[in-house]
A and B are shown apart, each in its own frame.
Chain A
Amino acid sequence: DAKTTQPPSMDCAEGRAANLPCNHSTISGNEYVYWYRQIHSQGPQYIIHGLKNNETNEMASLIITEDRKSSTLILPHATLRDTAVYYCIVWAAGNKLTFGGGTRVLVKP
């Protein structure tokens, strides 16, 4: 079973920041928080991951709470091409990658 809880959908205005929440209250010490997205029916695409500290890359920022029970993915300037389903996953190497329902993000002009 998926170990994360995400809102099923959210809208975002083009050019604005999109903040995607995720709850993972049962996360283990060796599990990382990973975010993927799936555009239409393409293969899921890696976005970012983190363990404890906040992380930033060219695609997004990841904010993890101090107790690690929740996190937020931030897309700083959403574009129409960011419309996708975003999956928050907790995972440790060698374990099965289990996808939940994700958040369907619609970026509107």
Chain B
Amino acid sequence: EAQVTQNPRYLITVTGKKLTVTCSQNMNHEYMSWYRQDPGLGLRQIYYSMNVEVTDKGDVPEGYKVSRKEKRNFPLILESPSPNQTSLYFCASSRASGRPSGDGYTFGSGTRLTVV
């Protein structure tokens, strides 16, 4: 089954303790992206990657890092999490080149992060 897999689904952590949220896709998509969703603010892009070793900032990159060493994986790293990073996070992937693929972006199921 074509899918984007995020782990963990739920995470409670303490301020300052480094964490990584993993994202993996099995569709050979070039483009991957991270979003966060907060009440009243909708879905906002954190970082995106056009392909392996190519990453760039989205709208709200502060406090986050990403890496794209392999095509299928795009982990989101919080080096020193703070309470304002408490949010619902989504990873997404799509084909990047030429015309849009039939179903645009495929999203993961989400990671609900709480930083206390």
Contact = CB atoms under 8 A, between A and B. Distances in A.
Interface of A: 32, 34, 36, 41-46, 49, 91-94, 96-102
The interface centre, meaning the residue of A94, A98, A100 with most chain B CB atoms within 10 A of its CB, is: A94
B110 A42 contact: yes
What is the interface of chain A mostly: helix, strand, loop, or mixed?
A: loop
A77 to B, nearest CB: 22
Interface of B: 4, 31, 33, 35, 37, 42-43, 45, 48, 50, 58, 88, 90, 92, 94-110, 112
A41 B100 contact: no
7 contacts: A36-B105, A41-B112, A43-B107, A43-B109, A45-B107, A49-B103, A97-B45
Nearest to A99: B43
* Pairs A-B, 4 closest by C-beta atoms: A43-B107, A99-B43, A46-B103, A93-B100
A93 B110 contact: no
